[in-house]
């Protein structure tokens, strides 16, 4: 139940200070007395994981709502009712057409575009992909948000040639147009300052941080002034929200203190957390804040890059992710690959849980969102693009039923799912990539 006051404040209210502009989450006082709350806005997220899966450990044995969680999906037990498992989807445009091996690069490039990309390094061949689904959505629902879309990564981008193609294909899933990728950001400080920095250069904001210990210290007086005008519930919300922002800033500062890089150059401003787990938690924590304050409504993230050389020694997996994915049907190696896939979801799951626990309108942030988690490769050992991993979370404001395993006819284009999502956002589109129609998401 909302606390109704005789006064209201604007939805886009900022706490401003020296070098900081902190947007507020939705408060009861943003609803006019006896008025209607603003309609919740839709939000989309796309999280990419490369190198395929072990299908026996990923796919539920039964369909519908009563499916048992397979081993890889057990970390998602707490959000099962908000999730769909889609199987049978494929990206056959990522298959070879006599233009080199390139299965990893084509898998990533096709994921949100549905088109076949050719090796740029071949003489006379130019980059030609397509505007990706996230960018079509961002133009529709993100045009009036401060940041139209965020592109994140927790994998160091590769340079040069990758898998018979150019590495930029595996460094992003987001394409502004057929030849312009939206490159991903790996540094938490850069994302933090995009969300909360206001005025001055990166060096000037850093100088203020070093003097005060926090970019947010300068908004304290404004926060106290505003809190004096609000009801007790809203004061608690602001305090809880600012505590969360401060905790994330503190963790960024701790990572910087441990690192050896300086913050002098905007494009390489800081070190990143030492562990994959801490880095992922921090980046997704920033994305949660971005959704909570409506700073952006669309994001994409590389959670595990194609051809990833990341080691998972912390969970007892030797070698690297890509190497383990070529298991040659060896049961021991297949078990290690499965362990990686389970761990990646274990690290990702708290983000979904946090969205589900954050109020937004009469529901939660997750209720208003649709988050897609998956990749463009099914069997990583054989470089197959059939039966690719695909999970969705959230109902997009009640537009999409949740809680089911939906077994599509084998090799149904994943672009059918993308068409359905875009149509649910009132985007007039009948064809996207290699789509053959909309996807029926009813169990």
Of 271, 286, 310, the residue that ends a domain is: 271
CA angle 300, 360, 252 (to 5 degrees): 50
Q: What does the H/E/C string look like for 153-196?
A: ECCCCCCCEECCEECHHHHCCCEEECCEECCCECCHHHHHHHHH
Percent with pLDDT over 70 in the chain: 79
Residue 91 has pLDDT above 70, yes or no: yes
Q: Is residue 3 part of a domain?
A: yes
Residue 196, pLDDT score: 79
Asked whether residue 107 falls in the same domain as residue 244, the answer is no
Residue 296, pLDDT score: 94
Asked whether residue 223 falls in the same domain as residue 169, the answer is no
Each residue's pLDDT tens digit, 152-194:
999 988 766 676 566 778 999 999 999 889 989 999 988 988 8
Task: Decide which of 13 and 209 is more confident.
Answer: 13
Q: What's the total number of domains in the chain?
A: 2
Q: Is residue 225 part of a domain?
A: yes
**Hey, what are 410's tokens?**
């084998």
Q: Is residue 172 part of a domain?
A: yes
Asked whether residue 68 falls in the same domain as residue 171, the answer is yes
Which CATH number characterizes residue 151's domain? 3.40.720
Counting Cα atoms < 13 Å in the Cβ hemisphere of 170 gives: 31
Asked whether residue 223 falls in the same domain as residue 304, the answer is no
Length of the chain equals: 443
Asked whether residue 117 falls in the same domain as residue 204, the answer is no
Q: Is the CA virtual torsion 211, 212, 216, 220 positive or negative? A: negative
**Hey, what are 391's tokens?**
């999970």
> Facing residues of 175 across strands?
181
pTM for the whole structure: 0.84
Contact 341, 362 (CB under 8 A): no
Give the closest residue to 105 by CA, choosing from 150, 190, 164.
164
DSSP state of 146: S
Strands 180-181 and 369-374: unpaired
Q: Is residue 287 part of a domain?
A: no
Residue 53, pLDDT score: 98
Contact 406, 86 (CB under 8 A): yes
Asked whether residue 252 falls in the same domain as residue 386, the answer is no
Q: Is residue 16 part of a domain?
A: yes
Asked whether residue 440 falls in the same domain as residue 367, the answer is yes
Q: Which of 29-33, 288-292, 409-413 has the highest mean pLDDT?
A: 409-413
Q: Say how many C-beta atoms besides its own lie within 10 A of residue 427's C-beta.
A: 16
Residue 264, pLDDT score: 37
Q: Is residue 293 part of a domain?
A: no
Q: For residues 145-154, give the mean pLDDT.
A: 93
Q: Is residue 292 part of a domain?
A: no
Beta-carbon contacts of residue 42 (< 8 Å; ≥ 6 apart) = 141, 297, 368, 369, 370, 396, 397, 425
Q: Specify the 3-state DSSP secondary structure of 49.
A: strand
Q: How many Å apart are CA 29 and CA 399, to the nearest integer?
A: 28
Asked whether residue 59 falls in the same domain as residue 102, the answer is yes
Asked whether residue 22 falls in the same domain as residue 76, the answer is no
Q: How confident is the model at residue 29 (pLDDT cuts 50, 70, 90)?
A: low
Asked whether residue 95 falls in the same domain as residue 167, the answer is yes
Residue 2, pLDDT score: 42
By residue range, what is the domain housing residue 19? 1-39+192-271
Give the closest residue to 238 by CA, choosing from 16, 3, 22, 1.
22
Residue 400, pLDDT score: 96
Each residue's pLDDT tens digit, 103-144:
999 999 999 999 998 655 555 556 778 999 999 999 999 988
Residue 31 has pLDDT above 80, yes or no: no
Contact 302, 45 (CB under 8 A): no
Of 236, 271, 306, the residue that ends a domain is: 271
Q: Specify the 3-state DSSP secondary structure of 313.
A: helix
Residue 76 has pLDDT above 80, yes or no: yes
Phi and psi of 85, rounded to 5°?
-105, 120
Residue 58 has pLDDT above 60, yes or no: yes
Q: How confident is the model at residue 234 (pLDDT cuts 50, 70, 90)?
A: confident
Largest CA distance in the chain: 69
Of 271, 286, 316, the residue that ends a domain is: 271
Asked whether residue 58 falls in the same domain as residue 203, the answer is no
Phi and psi of 128, rounded to 5°?
-150, 100
Asked whether residue 177 falls in the same domain as residue 160, the answer is yes
Q: How many Å apart are CA 325 and CA 339, to the nearest integer?
A: 11
Q: Is residue 288 part of a domain?
A: no
């Amino acid at each position: 139940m909302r606390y109704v006051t005789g006064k209201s404040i604007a939805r886009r209210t900022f706490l401003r200070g020296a070098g900081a502009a902190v947007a507020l989450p939705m408060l009861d006082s943003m609803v006019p007395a006896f008025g209607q709350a603003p309609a919740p806005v839709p939000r989309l997220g796309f999280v990419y994981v490369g190198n395929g899966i072990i299908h026996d450990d990923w796919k539920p044995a039964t369909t519908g709502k009563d499916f048992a969680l397979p081993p890889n999906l057990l970390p998602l037990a707490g959000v099962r009712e908000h999730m769909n498992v889609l199987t049978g989807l494929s990206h056959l445009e990522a298959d070879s057409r006599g233009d080199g091996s390139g299965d990893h690069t084509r898998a990533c490039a096709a994921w949100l575009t549905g088109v076949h990309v050719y090796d740029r390094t071949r003489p006379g061949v130019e980059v030609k992909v397509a505007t990706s689904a996230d960018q079509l959505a961002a133009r529709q629902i993100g045009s009036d948000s401060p940041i139209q879309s965020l592109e994140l990564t927790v994998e160091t981008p590769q340079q040069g040639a990758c898998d018979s193609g150019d590495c930029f294909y595996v460094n992003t899933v987001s394409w502004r147009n057929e030849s312009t990728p939206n490159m991903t950001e790996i540094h938490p400080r850069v994302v933090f300052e995009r969300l909360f920095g206001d005025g001055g250069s990166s060096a000037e904001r850093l100088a203020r941080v070093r003097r005060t210990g926090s970019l947010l210290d300068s908004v304290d007086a404004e926060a106290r002034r505003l809190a004096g005008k609000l009801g007790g519930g809203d004061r608690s919300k602001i305090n809880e929200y600012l505590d969360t922002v401060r905790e994330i800033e503190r963790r960024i500062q701790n990572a910087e203190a441990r690192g050896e890089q300086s913050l002098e150059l905007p494009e390489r401003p800081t070190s990143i957390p030492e562990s994959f787990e801490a880095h992922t938690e921090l980046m997704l924590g920033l994305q949660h804040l971005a959704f909570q304050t409506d700073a952006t409504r669309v994001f994409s993230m590389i959670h595990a890059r194609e051809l990833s050389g990341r080691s998972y020694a912390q969970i007892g997996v030797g070698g690297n992710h890509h190497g383990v994915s070529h298991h040659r049907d060896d049961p021991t190696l297949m078990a290690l690959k499965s362990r990686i896939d389970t761990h990646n979801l274990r690290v990702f799951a708290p983000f979904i849980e946090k969205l589900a626990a954050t109020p937004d309108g009469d529901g939660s942030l997750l209720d208003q969102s649709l988050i897609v988690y998956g990749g463009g490769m099914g069997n990583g050992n054989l470089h197959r693009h059939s039966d690719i991993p695909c999970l969705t979370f959230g109902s997009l404001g009640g537009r999409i039923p949740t809680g089911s395993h939906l077994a599509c006819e084998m090799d149904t284009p994943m672009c059918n799912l993308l068409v359905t999502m875009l149509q649910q956002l009132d985007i007039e589109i009948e064809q996207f990539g290699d789509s053959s129609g909309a996807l029926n998401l009813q169990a």
